[in-house]
Amino acid sequence: MAEYPALDLRFRVDSSTEALQDLLYAALDDYQPLAVQEFDSADGWRVFFRGTDVRDAAAVALARFTAHGLGAIDPLVVPDEDWARRSQAGLTAITVGRITVAPPWDLSASRPGDQLLIVIDPSMGFGTGHHQTTRLCLALLQSIPVKHRALIDIGTGSGVLALAGRALGARPVTGLDNDPDAIHNARENVAANGAETAITLSCQELVDFDGGRADVVTANLTAAVLIAHAARLRALVATGGAMIVSGFSSAEQPDVVRAIGLELADERVEGDWAAALLRG
The pLDDT of residue 2 is: 62
Top mean pLDDT of 99-103, 106-110, 215-219 is at 215-219
* Pairwise pLDDT comparison (32 vs 217), residue with the higher score: 217
- 206 and 76 fall within a common domain: no
Whole-angstrom Cα Rg for the chain: 18
DSSP state of 115: P
The span from the CA of 247 to the CA of 257, in Å, is: 13
Average pLDDT estimate for 124-151: 87
pLDDT given at position 201: 97
- Go through 57-76 and write b for each residue having 16 or more CB atoms within 10 A of its CB, e for each that does not: ebbeebeebeeebbeebeee
Q: What is the mean pLDDT of the chain?
A: 87
What pLDDT sits at residue 46? 86
Residues 161 and 257 in one domain: yes
My answer on whether 75 and 134 are in the same domain is: no
Domain limit, last residue, from 86, 112, 130: 86
Confidence of residue 22 (pLDDT cuts 50, 70, 90): confident
Examine the domain organization and report whether 65 and 189 are in the same domain.
no
One domain, residues 194 and 216? yes
Work out how many domains the chain is built from and give that number: 2
CA-based end-to-end distance of the chain: 49
Q: Tell me the residue range of the domain where 153 lies.
A: 94-279
C-alpha to C-alpha distance for 88 and 110, rounded to whole angstroms: 23
Check residue 106 and give its pLDDT: 80
What is the CATH number for 116?
3.40.50.150
Same domain? For 137 and 75 the reply is no
- pLDDT digits over 169-186, tens only? 999 999 999 888 889 889
Nearest CA to 243 among 132, 137, 130?
137
My answer on whether 143 and 238 are in the same domain is yes
Residue 160, pLDDT > 90, answer: yes
Of 86, 120, 152, the last residue of a domain is 86
Among 86, 120, 138, the domain boundary falls at 86
Q: Are residues 80 and 111 in the same domain?
A: no
65: domain CATH number is 3.30.70.260
